[in-house]
Structure 1
Amino acid sequence: MRALVVASSLVVAFLAQGASAARVAAPQASASAIAASAVPPGLERLGSALTLAELNDQADRWATEGFDDPDAALHRLDEVQQGLAEGTPAAWAAVIERTRGVVAARAGRESLAQESAGRLSQMAAQVAVAGADAAMIRALLDEQLWRNESAVGHALEADAAYSKTCAGEASRNGCDHRGWWQVIRLLAVRADRQGNRLEAARLQQRANELAQQAGDDTLLAWGLASQALLSHHLNEMEKSRREMSQAERHARKDPSGRAMIRVLLNTAALASLRNERTGSQAPLEEAVRLARSSGSPRLEALALAALSDAFLRAGRPRDALAAVERALPVMRQFNDRRYLPVMLHNGGIARVQLGQIAQGKADLEAAVQLWEQAKARARVEVELNESADALAAAGDVKAALENYHRATALRDQIDTDTRTAVLGQLKERFRTEAGQRDLELAERENSLKTARLENQTLMQRVWMLASIVLALAMGVLVVQVRRTRDANLQLRRSEALLKVQSERDPLTGLANRRHFREALSARQDGDASGFKGGLILLDVDHFKRINDEHGHAIGDAVLIEVAQRLSSCVRSGDVACRWGGEEFLVHTAELSSEGVESLALRVLGEIGNRPVTLADGREVAVTMSMAYAAFPLPPHGVSLPWEQAVNLVDMGLYSAKAMGRDQAVGISACAVSSTDALARAAGDFERARLDGRLSVKVTPRTG
């Protein structure tokens, strides 16, 4: 499914170069003058009376040629540029320069693309849209070379320039809608990759409206197909089906078949999201056939990338590897850094499943390194978890545990960065969603300050008039004291409420990691003998699959139900928290090792023995992998900080997952007598378990 969704979001960046003929009108004055005279030298081969709009259409055909054969297209464009006479309108020269820059950018030819962008910037004084075209070329180049932040910056610059120059005045300023469409689409794809699908849907709607105004069926078909995928992610299923039907209708009007390839890719992605395991292969195979018949090896490689993922989901690793081996040389030929890691990862998973462990691991690591170069941390976490699952299934438990550990460390870093960002957004959130409450609190604070000032004034008057109005002054004083006390009490309540909100997980209502750390630090403060008590760490099995098959809203519902069942099992004095993602952690004080084991197994059964019933009546089976221990560990009672105790139980959890999930691993004893030795045993848990340094009890769940 991953490759299908990636294909649906990235293929437009390729296919947009082959858009259908533009419907945006050319400047009438220039067109009339050109039609009345000879075509400028160097463009005679294009026809006898071209308008600027017709030149834009021809330029788009050159860009389409450059998609698969950039050298031939750039050579033809250089010939045309050299043949331009001094009397050629500046708008015509700008179209040729823009097309040259687009071809170079899509081929990753940085020096040529930057050269064209620079020339267009110089033309901006004569051709209003040239500055926007220059920023568009730089955005496409950065996207091709995977310079994500720079690509978004140039795309935003181009969008602003197009909005200023082309909105409502395209005819006068000689705008071609295709460049603007590519910029908006690039921003939509970026928003989708970052998980901001509402923003992606808004941007895609803008792109669709632009294509519709231009009468461009090809771009409109691609845009509607992309919108259908976003609507599905936003749980607007009927809207998604309607948009895909409209996309197919518009795609049939494109004789090149490129629009239909886009629709087929999204059709396959939707089938994968709906968990139709075989429903994605037929449209992808048709997309491969269409790309081959159109003579586009890059489009064929793109469709093969998605097909390889579909084969993996269908349990056909040999076919998946064959698709990768057909597509990978093309990706490398064009140095397409966006798809190389996807292909390497799919090929690596297929090789591991086929028993080619060494080569498979090398391909998987190469894919991770490419994602890391792109700073795509969320993608790296997904890739590490998927590769760990494949390695565990192939019997390479050590490598699987290493990847699990890397994924967990990366997820912790992402969680830390996310918490930092969320804390930075809290003030804005309170100003918007809770603005009224903040306003009321501010008014109370202002009232308190005013009351204090009034108190000072009244006290002065009391002393001046004490001999006459003592009783009245005392009454006023009592009233003011009560008002001050009430205001202070309200402030303390507000502070307490904010503190509780900062220590609770907003989804499940459990304590969050911050509260857990503070609670354990407080319990262990001043205790020189080290950490004491029981720890139970549990993780929802195959949670990514639940999200993929049912959607993130159902995944959230599962987490809420798991939290409720966990809360029903623990005692009032225990601390249960959402440790991160789909992980939960429990600390029990003053409980024996047998008591900790009993509680852990009760939690395992309470969660796994009953499916989660959804609001619509469907049931989702949910199981947990778990590790637990009571500290200090017998027989030596080694003293260690609570953070190291959590790390030891965390490694036990990895072992539970690697041994098949849906079970509990209890760490009952350790044969080492020092903290450093215990830390080394935790660092290589599997070996420590096998050589007897750690005694482990494995208990599968009983239904």
Structure 2
Amino acid sequence: MAATDDFIALREQLKQARQQGDLTNADALARDYLRLATQAKDPLQLGLAHFQQGRNAMERNNYQVAKPELEQAVALLQPLGQSKALADALDRLGMTYRYQSDYASALNYLYQAMQIYRDLEDLESIASGYNNIGTVLEKMGQFEEALHAHQQSLELSYQLKDSESIASTIFNLADLHRSLGDNDQALTYFLQALEMDIASGNKRNIAYSHNKLGFLYSGLKEFDKAHFHANQALALFQQIGAKRDTDWARTGLAKLAMEQGDYAGAQQLLDAVIKRALQHSYKSLLIDTYKMAAELSLRQDKVQAALAYIEPGIALARQTQERADEAQLQQMRVDAYIRQDAVREALNALQSQKQLEDEIFSNKKAATIAAIQAQTEYTRQQYQISLLQNEQILQQARLEQSRLTRNFWIFGLVAVFVLMISLYRRYLQSQQNRSLEQEVKARTIELEQKNVELQQAYQQLEVISLTDKLTGLHNRHFLESHIETELEQCRRRWQDWQSGKTTQPERAELAVFLIDLDHFKALNDSYGHQAGDEVLQHFSLKLQQVFRQSDYLVRWGGEEFVVIARSINRAEAAPLAQRLVETVQQELFPLSEAPPVAVSCSVGYACYPLPLGESPLHWEHLLKLADLCLYAAKYSGRNGWVGLEAIHTEAELAPGVITPGQLQLWHSKGQLQLQHSFAQLNWQS
């Protein structure tokens, strides 16, 4: 029969084999472990044996095998009480659900593991647990919560001087910055993570860092670096036998081929990945590959081929409740139908996309609350169970004290009386124990019901992104979630001044700029959609040159942008508009597959408060005023700007009042404080 030292030595050998990517040896060691544990008939070692089998399956991305092995490990270890072995099994089971896109179940198991790690005061495992929870929260779109979790992991890892854990956390922070559109910071973090992974020698982590860098460099058009990192990742994944990750690396090579114009090579790689992903049910990878294949077809104007990828992609995204991916695929479907001049189909797809984005946005708060509840509810349950256990121990202690007291006095009692008292005491003890058992059972049922309710709540969690994928700017959902707060703060400062509470505020106003690229459709028709995308990306850089980091830069839709210039004086708005127009037209925009092109823009803006002392003005009304100024700029000849700084009228600014004709009338009466760059201003075409 194997001794404890034998099992410890086997576990260390297994860890080293996995770290070195030698999964063939790891599988042989795991089989030996299971055989010895079965012979020993030791529940602890049997649980650890199934855990090792599950860990090996996870390394190979075989989550369908890993899940039952880890569930068996949990079932064997749970009756033995809280232990690190049980927490590790729960943690890995949670990550198995994460890789299968079941984020609700993943968080449930990860928080259970975290609670045990905290009870054991295992700081190293707590740091790792925060890291895992952060990756799940990021997939759910809860970026602030994910960042907080990763920061806690990083602090603990530095405290413990655990270089491998530090590298893992930096990698996750890099991926979070990439998701938020901060590619420069993401690149810095990924390179640092790769350097630390190479020092630790963990081949899987090295491969992950290489692969992320390959994708990032492809998007940055640094193709030599992208080629190096993508091939390094592919070789390492093949070496350790991780089939899913190997195909993930192949999609990186496909993206590189697509960005370099090798459409045939990219198509061949993607078709092979789709075939294997369907065979092995790699759902998340399959959705990402469908999106890339659809993008590749659209770049070649192969609309029917694109739709052949988009439709199953949407169906699978719905099945896995990946709402953000579904919205992106719906956007691609809109583009495809527009290219076919299928107006009705394009409108239906656009409505579906908008509904998805609205649902994603409106459910973000619910998702955040549910995620917090997962941890809170589990902690509460543990506390309730602990109270019941303490109460049972206390009750048993009281009964024992009663028995001792009874024995002290029975020496002076007759034998019959002693017997009656003893029987009566035993009866009371039996009744009390039965009552306590019923109470524990009732509480257990209640806790199980709460777990069911929590599971149902998690099924409602969805993903949201607040960044425009093409330009890296904020999207309209970000603005809609922040603008009311900005307007309220601005309005409050002016109201406090008017009521005499404060002195007149400085730089306490804001301006809403609505910007549209001139003749953008003609540019798309002449040079293609790829050129149009490049123009939009260059234009976003121009916006960042003109406006401050504290301003909100938003891609509103298509070639239309919104900028909220915060904490300014309204007199600064006109110079900003003029500077933007001049910056855009002062140099040609470079294109990768065509000569540089001249680009101009038209700008309309409205200042706030408008006018001073006004009643609260709705965001929609303010945007409408900026929009009318934008149209006035277009009707007046484009490549210029029109700005509304104040309205001196008693008329209520209701939606029906804000029309081009009304603004033209007020302008003629001198009731508008207006600035513009045109020789003659036209409100209507």
In the alignment, what sits opposite 1:9?
A: none
Q: Residues 221 and 259 of structure 2 are in contact (CA less than 8 Å); yes or no, is this contact kept in structure 1?
A: no
Question: Match for 1:312 among 298, 303, 326?
Answer: 298
Q: Residues 22 and 56 of structure 1 are in contact (CA less than 8 Å); yes or no, is this contact kept in structure 2?
A: no
Question: Match for 2:236 among 222, 226, 250?
Answer: 250
Question: Match for 1:360 among 329, 349, 355?
Answer: 349
The correspondence of residues 190-269 of structure 1 with structure 2, limited to 5 A, is 190-231=176-217, 237-269=223-255
Question: Match for 2:56 among 31, 55, 58?
Answer: 58
In the alignment, what sits opposite 2:18?
A: 21
In the alignment, what sits opposite 1:132?
A: 127
The correspondence of residues 454-603 of structure 1 with structure 2, limited to 5 A, is 539=518, 541=520, 549=534, 556=541, 577-579=575-577, 584=581
In the alignment, what sits opposite 2:659?
A: 680
In the alignment, what sits opposite 2:630?
A: 650
The reply to whether residue 80 of structure 1 matches residue 69 of structure 2 is no
In the alignment, what sits opposite 2:597?
A: 621
Q: Residues 321 and 347 of structure 1 are in contact (CA less than 8 Å); yes or no, is this contact kept in structure 2?
A: yes
Give the TM-score taking structure 1 as reference length.
0.52
Question: Match for 2:43 among 41, 44, 54?
Answer: 41
The reply to whether residue 167 of structure 1 matches residue 146 of structure 2 is no
Q: Residues 114 and 126 of structure 2 are in contact (CA less than 8 Å); yes or no, is this contact kept in structure 1?
A: yes
CA drift of 1:277 comes to 6.0
Q: Residues 225 and 243 of structure 1 are in contact (CA less than 8 Å); yes or no, is this contact kept in structure 2?
A: yes
In the alignment, what sits opposite 1:454?
A: none
CA change 1:553–1:663 in 2 (3 A) is closer
SS state of the match for residue 220, structure 1? helix
CA change 1:61–1:321 in 2 (3 A) is same
Q: Which moved more, 1:305-314 or 1:362-371?
A: 362-371
Q: Residues 247 and 263 of structure 1 are in contact (CA less than 8 Å); yes or no, is this contact kept in structure 2?
A: yes
Q: Residues 539 and 584 of structure 1 are in contact (CA less than 8 Å); yes or no, is this contact kept in structure 2?
A: no
CA change 1:536–1:342 in 2 (3 A) is closer
CA change 1:655–1:156 in 2 (3 A) is farther
Question: Match for 1:378 among 456, 467, 475?
Answer: 467
Q: Residues 194 and 210 of structure 2 are in contact (CA less than 8 Å); yes or no, is this contact kept in structure 1?
A: yes
In the alignment, what sits opposite 1:28?
A: none
Question: Match for 2:308 among 322, 329, 339?
Answer: 322
Please give the root-mean-square deviation of Cα atoms over the aligned residues, in Å.
Answer: 5.8
CA drift of 1:412 comes to 13
Q: Which residue identity is paired with 2:357?
A: V
CA drift of 1:357 comes to 3.1
The correspondence of residues 293-308 of structure 1 with structure 2, limited to 5 A, is 293-308=279-294
CA change 1:554–1:336 in 2 (3 A) is closer
Task: Supply the distance in 2 between the matched residues of 1:225 and 1:682 (Cα, whole angstroms).
Answer: 57
Task: Supply the distance in 1 between the matched residues of 2:594 and 2:152 (Cα, whole angstroms).
Answer: 47
The correspondence of residues 655-674 of structure 1 with structure 2, limited to 5 A, is none
Task: Supply the distance in 1 between the matched residues of 2:223 and 2:133 (Cα, whole angstroms).
Answer: 36
The reply to whether residue 108 of structure 1 matches residue 108 of structure 2 is no
Task: Supply the distance in 1 between the matched residues of 2:589 and 2:138 (Cα, whole angstroms).
Answer: 42
Q: Which residue identity is paired with 1:317?
A: V
CA drift of 1:217 comes to 3.5
- What does the per-residue CA deviation read over 1:240-289, in whole Å, with 9 as the maximum and x for residues that have no partner? 34323433433442434323322222233334545666664333223223
Give the TM-score taking structure 2 as reference length.
0.53
CA drift of 1:679 comes to 3.4
CA change 1:358–1:622 in 2 (3 A) is same
SS state of the match for residue 301, structure 2? coil
CA change 1:553–1:243 in 2 (3 A) is farther
Task: Supply the distance in 2 between the matched residues of 1:97 and 1:409 (Cα, whole angstroms).
Answer: 36
CA drift of 1:190 comes to 1.7
Task: Supply the distance in 1 between the matched residues of 2:59 and 2:593 (Cα, whole angstroms).
Answer: 53
Task: Supply the distance in 1 between the matched residues of 2:263 and 2:47 (Cα, whole angstroms).
Answer: 51
Q: Which residue identity is paired with 2:88?
A: V
CA drift of 1:139 comes to 1.9
Question: Match for 1:369 among 353, 358, 365?
Answer: 358
Question: Match for 1:343 among 320, 323, 329?
Answer: 329
Q: Which residue identity is paired with 1:158?
A: S
Q: Which moved more, 1:335-344 or 1:114-123?
A: 114-123
Q: Residues 218 and 259 of structure 1 are in contact (CA less than 8 Å); yes or no, is this contact kept in structure 2?
A: no
In the alignment, what sits opposite 1:424?
A: none
Task: Supply the distance in 2 between the matched residues of 1:333 and 1:204 (Cα, whole angstroms).
Answer: 32
How many residue pairs are counted as aligned between the two chains?
A: 464
CA drift of 1:153 comes to 1.3
- What does the per-residue CA deviation read over 1:566-611, in whole Å, with 9 as the maximum and x for residues that have no partner? xxxxxxxxx9745399x6289xxxxxxxxxxxxxxxx9xx87xx95
- What does the per-residue CA deviation read over 1:296-341, in whole Å, with 9 as the maximum and x for residues that have no partner? 2442232112212222222223222221221223222222244222
Task: Supply the distance in 2 between the matched residues of 1:414 and 1:268 (Cα, whole angstroms).
Answer: 40
Q: Which runs of 5+ in 2 are unaligned?
A: 1-15, 23-29, 363-462, 490-505, 547-572, 605-621, 643-650, 665-681
Task: Supply the distance in 2 between the matched residues of 1:310 and 1:643 (Cα, whole angstroms).
Answer: 36
Q: Residues 204 and 237 of structure 2 are in contact (CA less than 8 Å); yes or no, is this contact kept in structure 1?
A: yes
Q: Which residue identity is paired with 2:18?
A: A
Question: Match for 1:94 among 87, 96, 99?
Answer: 87
CA change 1:73–1:206 in 2 (3 A) is same
Task: Supply the distance in 2 between the matched residues of 1:580 and 1:225 (Cα, whole angstroms).
Answer: 44
- What does the per-residue CA deviation read over 1:30-59, in whole Å, with 9 as the maximum and x for residues that have no partner? x99999984842654986xx9x9x567336
CA change 1:146–1:555 in 2 (3 A) is closer
